[in-house]
Structure 1
């Protein structure tokens, strides 16, 4: 047994011998947390999908900026993963590009996406067709306060800016990778970890909804009463004009790795059309992945971390190229998940927004941009946080205390004493 780094270092099978799995998806989702250097083509500039070999990322002078958004332990694991991928006979034919990153304080948005072109990996074209395979990865929440604020917003608003951006990103990649008439377009897989998994599902459902609206309009114009199915196709070798304009048929699979759900049900017909193609994986102590039920089945994975730390994908256990499964969620995960979801369902949306906005104001009070900076400066940060908390009204303080008591944030791994200190100050 080992983690994704061990898997990439030791499993040399081609994609013909061992087709793409949820483990491969987690590998690429984890790589999306890297802050890619300028050598990686920027999203949307070229007319077609633009990429560079994954080996081009191995430039030591870029590493400090590439691996700077999390704890030293996690950054080190991601560097190890990148090196392993570039060396692996399974992955080293991969190309990377179409990098998008947007941190917008005014819109409360933290978004990043990258596309991996798997077409030159051994066994991909023989397994998935001559067009090859693209994997679109969405970054999950980083350690910034801005990133967690957008997560909070997802509890009462859909779509948030990053969900819209994810839908636009996938639409662009699908459109610019369509290929030439008569040629086979690449299949698409979409995935992400944490918030990235939520965005992957949202973007896929948006593509299906686009197709359904397009087909309905054409049916209305022609008088047809039967719409074609929005299902994944083995290949696009028989693409006609109408098929070429449909995007969802090219989406082979969607992966959500401990990704939260949505505050309300997405477009039912489009969601139902895509649901069978979604694979959701969560660790035994999942909290984030259990937020806001998305009505998707999930597989529980064993992890070698404790509690909320299991949210980190590098802790998930793998054997023989597959996740090591667990019989179910832990009792703590079930309790915390039901508690937070009950709070979210039981409170008025306006109050939900008020308390989550107040949380952001409180933790922004010291002036630091990330939870890591708060941890490094906690002796000065905590008094500012407590002072900001005491300026709120009693009802808001009560709501804030309730949320903090079960806050599903990996951010506290570096600052475990702060939630209780703030809760005590609210009494």
Structure 2
């Protein structure tokens, strides 16, 4: 099956004037937000944009492609995608602008966005999804538990400032994973005048929202322009459900690996459609039911406790946690000692889900082994006491 890399080969010679913007272009721009253009592409209000091929040349010359932490959420093919974009008539001459990156551990906020100028006074505002940082992962869990998280607020502000920069232009909003959530949230909250300029909003396998968003008039005004695209066995979304109709696409991968947009099957200017989400995983159900039983204060305590456990390793990213090997699981489980059994069980499940969804199989195996070792030690101790 063909993918977006093949699409770049097939349609790279077709400009947007000869072949209009489509859903595959959307995913390419969503993946582009993972590229570190900070310091290469100016921020909002910091001057004119930069031609994509020139920005890419600087990116590669700085060696930033070697620093990209690939994972299930950050595909390793992104630099190769960028190289193909540079040599294509369709993408090479596009202008990049309004680059913004923000990481705040204290507020558990990970945010990045970039804008792509398209012919005909249109622009695609692309929001980066969850990267390899633990801060980004905590914010994902916060999305499931809280009505609003810092990056959503920042996304709305970004849209308002970028829309002012491109006054009168038509706008696309989009992103992959958490970036898709930010695109939808900002579309709902950017104000009626900007909503009237929106052509489409793309949520590429990103989390949904808590129910409080769905009944709002602001959401109803843009609902018909929200496009949620999910692989046939989507497992992303953690505790949330999608409120929009969604498009189900085929993938060459299985399970959580289908979150990788480079595995989505492409035919011409469209994804290969599937009939339904019959293969969707439901392994988050137990955790969701437990969380739904908590009040707001208890939810906040849970996410704080989860992040404290993750941070106990001293690592800032999942890559650093993997590098520590079995030590990671031992340190994290030690940090859970003293918590009540219900919270401890929920944290144990949440951490397992995190490792599954991030593709950190080695960490998951270490976590299971260390759990088994501790349980056996406790049972042996009880037996020696004659309990």
TM (norm. structure 2) is 0.88
Distance 2:365 2:348 in 1: 14
Matched residue, 2:188: 205
Decide whether the 8 Å contact of 1:340 with 1:406 is kept in 2. Answer: no
**How many Å apart are 1:290 and its aligned residue?**
7.0
Matches within 5 A, 1:185-200: 185-200=168-183
SS of structure 1 residue aligned to 2:331: helix
Decide whether the 8 Å contact of 2:72 with 2:259 is kept in 1. Answer: no
SS of structure 1 residue aligned to 2:339: coil
SS of structure 1 residue aligned to 2:199: strand
Decide whether the 8 Å contact of 2:180 with 2:204 is kept in 1. Answer: yes
| Partner residue of 2:317 out of 370, 376, 380 | 370
Decide whether the 8 Å contact of 2:152 with 2:185 is kept in 1. Answer: yes
Alignment length (residue pairs): 370
Matched residue, 1:91: 91
Decide whether the 8 Å contact of 1:93 with 1:118 is kept in 2. Answer: no
Say yes or no: does 1:381 pair with 2:364. no
Decide whether the 8 Å contact of 1:398 with 1:426 is kept in 2. Answer: no
Decide whether the 8 Å contact of 1:54 with 1:96 is kept in 2. Answer: yes
**How many Å apart are 1:423 and its aligned residue?**
5.1
Structure 2 stretches lacking a partner, 5+ long: 376-387
Matched residue, 1:34: 35
Matched residue, 1:225: none
SS of structure 2 residue aligned to 1:247: helix
Decide whether the 8 Å contact of 2:38 with 2:100 is kept in 1. Answer: no
**How many Å apart are 1:425 and its aligned residue?**
6.8
Matched residue, 2:122: 133
**How many Å apart are 1:382 and its aligned residue?**
2.3
Decide whether the 8 Å contact of 2:257 with 2:359 is kept in 1. Answer: no
Q: Deviations over 1:8-38 (max 9, x none)?
A: 1222333344321221111001010111142
Matched residue, 1:322: 270
Provide closer, same or farther for how the CA distance between residues 316 and 340 of structure 1 changes in structure 2, counting only shifts above 3 A.
farther
Distance 1:68 1:106 in 2: 23
SS of structure 2 residue aligned to 1:303: coil
Distance 2:324 2:337 in 1: 20
Matched residue, 1:117: 117
Provide closer, same or farther for how the CA distance between residues 77 and 372 of structure 1 changes in structure 2, counting only shifts above 3 A.
same
Matched residue, 1:55: 53
Matched residue, 2:380: none
Matched residue, 1:22: 23
Decide whether the 8 Å contact of 1:397 with 1:426 is kept in 2. Answer: no
Decide whether the 8 Å contact of 1:261 with 1:290 is kept in 2. Answer: no
| Partner residue of 2:216 out of 268, 285, 294 | 268
Matched residue, 1:154: 143
SS of structure 1 residue aligned to 2:156: helix
- Indicate the larger mover: 24-33 or 149-158: 149-158
Q: CA RMSD in A?
A: 2.4
TM (norm. structure 1) is 0.80
Distance 1:319 1:64 in 2: 32
Decide whether the 8 Å contact of 1:174 with 1:247 is kept in 2. Answer: yes
**How many Å apart are 1:353 and its aligned residue?**
2.7
SS of structure 2 residue aligned to 1:106: coil
Say yes or no: does 1:3 pair with 2:3. yes
Structure 1 stretches lacking a partner, 5+ long: 120-124, 126-131, 179-184, 212-245
